[in-house]
Amino acid sequence: MSIELVAKIAVSGIPYALDKPYDYLVPAEFTKLAVPGARVIVPFSRSNRRTEGLILSVSSELSKQRKLKSIIEFLDSEPIMQNEQLKLALWMRSRFFCTVYDAIKAMIPAGLWYKSGKLSIRDKTIKMVELIIPAEDAMVLADTKRRTAPSQAKVLSTLCSVGYVSLNELKEFTGAGMQGIKALERSAYISIAEEIVFRRPQINVLSENAPLPELSFDQLSVFESIWNNITDEKLKIGLLFGVTGSGKTAVYLHLIEKMLKAGKSSILLLPEISLTPQMVQTFYSHFGDIVAILHSSLSAGERYDEWKRIGSGLARIVIGTRSAVFAPASNLGLIIIDEEQEDTYKSENAPRYHARDVANYRCAQSNAALLLGSATPSVESRYFAEIGRYMYFALPERYNCTPLPEVRIVDMKSELRRGNGSPISRELYEELCKNIKANEQSILFLNRRGASKTVVCPQCGFVQSCPSCSVSLTYHSYGNKLMCHYCGYSHRHNSKCPECGGETLQIGVGTQRLEEELKSLFPDIEVLRMDTDTVGYKGGHESVISNFIDNKVPILIGTQMVAKGLNFENVTLVGVIDADQGLYSGNYRASEKTFSLITQVVGRSGRFEKVGRAIIQTFSPENETINQAAGQDYEAFYSSEIELRRLLDLPPYKELITITCTGVNEEHVYKSACTIRDALNANIAQEDKTCRILGPAPLPIFKVSNRFRYRITICQGGKSNIKNLVSGIITELSNDKDFKGIQIFGDINPLD
């Protein structure tokens, strides 16, 4: 019997319950192409539907042993993924309840995806012209052509100087037409060839090859401690706590420079796209073209080419948001996650990964170091540092001992009693006036976009709600429309109640209404707004930030985009509008997120020579979390929060695994969730008696896009077998005909 190659293939477009490696025969003509990491087209299911797949492994076996389908076509001449990336995709499947192909698609840029059998993005090429005869001969030839063919003579003399230039630049500089240039090519004096060029995002850098910032005594001490532990291979995961303005970025710069000198690459993750421009400018001014950028605001072509630059080794420093953790950096030495506590590092769609977990896995596989940085570390990270799982480093003071802002809390109930129904308290108004008079800038933070939170009828109580989601519609004054921020539904606003015909009222304040209020208070003052409604276009973040800095715009309003990571030399006042907003959401992380946001945004004030102040407006001035944030007292917050987590058996003491059921029929969804709960009780009770199974319970947003959502939550102590049991239950019940129309998915420590 002959030996045949068999490939194990991950198939795209299948549910988690059917995901497994499928065996296919490799036809003889494809033998050389059949390597792990290459994509193929295979016949799948009974209908033999042409389906994309990726080879996970190749082995040989005796023919005729079993009847296998054969690979139809190879999409890649070279593998798009290396063994390390394939291992990561398989690990993600086991950790995050996703298919292997979900993980693969999260890892590679959209430009490498196939649509209708074609790549989404092609390489960008330009025509280049090269002189292929000796320069001396070309000069003689140019002299002879100066009268008969002056444009050709100019082309030849120009190429004598530069040798190699793009066709467009040559035509623009010499004024020559294609006819004359083609004549020179036919005479074999020059050659014209296509050359691949990289599409690069525009980076505005004031200076290049700038020296690294000098470290203060505290920064130098922390830097040396981190580097020494990395060198001794003691540092696997480190937590760098630094108060706002302490200069963590300077430490990052010096660590990455050391990595470069050691021949290693580094990845720096940031939580928001809005932070990327300033950070990129800083790094680019020091390191130049070896810096690559990866985030969702890039065009598909730019993202694809940056990914190629990283993979080829041309870029050895990667800066980006969550998905940059997958960058194909070679010889990886360090991953830094700045503002590591941020929710944006957790994906809410399959694969539901956390960048910190992926970074930890990559570092373990590459023998690299992982450094988490924040002024308000997550409770879990601070706890792991406390028990010794993470190494701990601290910058307890601002750079050059600049004082933290003076913070005052304003009771908005008192403002209402005084007849002030405005979102701007009298105290904040007075401070804004002082700043305007002193030509200093102010930031107002409100984590809700739109004009008003909701529209209600005071006569009958009718609330304008989304027909597809269990949320009220948000009023947007621009366009006079009501919009759902979950499914995108919108319609024009009518001030008359559709139920009783009475006049409706707009309740709550969003960034649009706050902007209108400020313009009425300060009609001659420019006000900028930074939220997803104003920076949705490409380059929107850079445009707003540059305008604020360059033109010294007096007031910037923003959502959490302005709360962290940004450095504004002239900002001396921060106002927090509606500090209570996130406190009572019902999520166990509500206090942590509120503390972090307030602390971070207050830290934007007085970061340089000028002393900063902050006003926190709240209806709960006695709230412990708000007072701890006002005092910038992270340790006090952590002490109270970790004790609460211990009493309630919440992370970091327990890990939460959730199973969510969604469907269009509420009763069917609930019954399905109950079946899952019963299966969990029957199986997990035997495995781990310390586990608690809660639910099924509706999610806080009960219905999204006409699909009802129920969840079962498992509180467990981190035993890996529990994940396997959950995976098995999801797989088994997803294939049950009684679950038809029900989508089931698992998650680890979800955000909602």
Nearest 5°: phi and psi at 469?
-130, 155
Whether CATH 3.40.50.300 fits 406-452+508-645 = yes
Q: Which helix (H) or strand (E) holds 228?
A: helix 217-231
Nearest 5°: phi and psi at 173?
-75, -40
Instruction: Answer yes or no: is pLDDT of 55 > 80.
Output: yes
Distances (CA, A) of 268 to 106, 244, 376, 416, 501: 18, 18, 18, 45, 55
Mean pLDDT of the 73-95 span: 93
Name which of 374, 386, 290 is nearest 336 in CA terms.
374
Q: How far apart are CA 18 and CA 24, in angstroms?
A: 16
Q: Which residues are registered as beta bridge partners of 658?
A: 713, 747
Q: Which helix (H) or strand (E) holds 83?
A: helix 83-96
Highest mean pLDDT among 168-177, 258-267, 281-290, 483-492: 258-267
Q: Helix/strand/coil (H, E, C) string of 574-605?
A: EEECCCCCCCCCCCCCHHHHHHHHHHHHHCCC
**Domain ranges in the chain with CATH number 3.40.50.300:** 217-395, 406-452+508-645
**Which of 52-61, 80-89, 253-262, 684-693 has the weakest average pLDDT?**
684-693
Q: How far apart are CA 702 and CA 718, in angstroms?
A: 28
Position 568 confidence tier, pLDDT thresholds 50, 70, 90: confident
Q: How far apart are CA 706 and CA 663, in angstroms?
A: 8
Which pLDDT tens digit goes with each residue over 426-464? 999 999 999 999 999 999 999 888 766 788 888 888 898
Position 173 confidence tier, pLDDT thresholds 50, 70, 90: confident
Q: Are 428 and 617 in contact (CB under 8 A)?
A: yes
Q: How far apart are CA 102 and CA 97, in angstroms?
A: 10
Q: How far apart are CA 247 and CA 403, in angstroms?
A: 13
Q: How far apart are CA 704 and CA 712, in angstroms?
A: 18
Q: What tokens appear for 706 in the block?
A: 């006409």
Which pLDDT tens digit goes with each residue over 646-670? 999 999 999 999 999 999 999 999 9
Domain 655-748 fold:
Alpha-Beta Plaits (3.30.70)
Q: Which helix (H) or strand (E) holds 385?
A: helix 379-386
pLDDT for 274 equals 75
pLDDT for 207 equals 67
Instruction: Answer yes or no: is pLDDT of 370 > 90.
Output: yes
Q: Which CATH class is domain 3-119?
A: alpha beta
pLDDT for 494 equals 85
pLDDT for 720 equals 63
Mean pLDDT of the 126-132 span: 92
Q: Which residues are registered as beta bridge partners of 574?
A: 443, 614
The pTM for the full model equals: 0.90
Which pLDDT tens digit goes with each residue over 498-516? 888 888 888 888 899 899 9
Instruction: Answer yes or no: is pLDDT of 96 > 90.
Output: yes
Q: How many residues appear in the chain?
A: 752
pLDDT for 562 equals 85
Q: How far apart are CA 613 and CA 632, in angstroms?
A: 13
Q: Are 249 and 319 in contact (CB under 8 A)?
A: no
pLDDT for 532 equals 83
Q: In this prediction, what percent of the chain has a pLDDT beyond 70?
A: 98
Instruction: Answer yes or no: is pLDDT of 65 > 80.
Output: no
Q: How far apart are CA 494 and CA 492, in angstroms?
A: 7
Q: Please, what is the angle between helix 167-174 and helix 150-162, to 10°? A: 120
pLDDT for 206 equals 63
Place of tokens 């946001």: 597
Q: What is Dmax (Cα atoms) for the chain?
A: 96
Position 64 confidence tier, pLDDT thresholds 50, 70, 90: low
pLDDT for 686 equals 67
Instruction: Answer yes or no: is pLDDT of 536 > 80.
Output: no
Q: Which CATH class is domain 217-395?
A: alpha beta
pLDDT for 262 equals 96
Which pLDDT tens digit goes with each residue over 461-493? 889 899 999 999 988 887 889 999 899 899 888
Instruction: Answer yes or no: is pLDDT of 400 > 90.
Output: no
Query: Which stretches of 265-331 are DSSP H helices?
Result: 276-287, 300-312
What is the C-alpha radius of gyration for the chain, rounded to an integer number of angstroms?
30
pLDDT: which is higher, 261 or 477: 261
Mean pLDDT of the 245-263 span: 95
**Which of 21-30, 41-50, 681-690, 735-744 has the weakest average pLDDT?**
681-690
* Average model confidence (pLDDT) across the chain: 91
pLDDT for 67 equals 84
Instruction: Answer yes or no: is pLDDT of 63 > 60.
Output: no
**Domain ranges in the chain with CATH number 3.30.70.600:** 655-748
Mean pLDDT of the 600-611 span: 89
CB atoms within 10 A of CB 2: 8
pLDDT: which is higher, 584 or 530: 530
pLDDT for 290 equals 94
pLDDT for 446 equals 93
Strands (E), 399-516: 406-411, 441-445, 454-456, 474-476, 481-483, 490-492, 505-507
Q: What tokens appear for 704 in the block?
A: 């999204």
Name which of 735, 659, 725 is nearest 19 in CA terms.
735
Instruction: Answer yes or no: is pLDDT of 297 > 90.
Output: no
Q: How far apart are CA 268 and CA 252, in angstroms?
A: 9
Mean pLDDT of the 311-339 span: 95
Q: Are 565 and 273 in contact (CB under 8 A)?
A: no
Position 53 confidence tier, pLDDT thresholds 50, 70, 90: very high
Position 718 confidence tier, pLDDT thresholds 50, 70, 90: low
Q: How far apart are CA 585 and CA 587, in angstroms?
A: 6
Q: Are 432 and 425 in contact (CB under 8 A)?
A: no
Mean pLDDT of the 135-162 span: 89
pLDDT for 529 equals 93
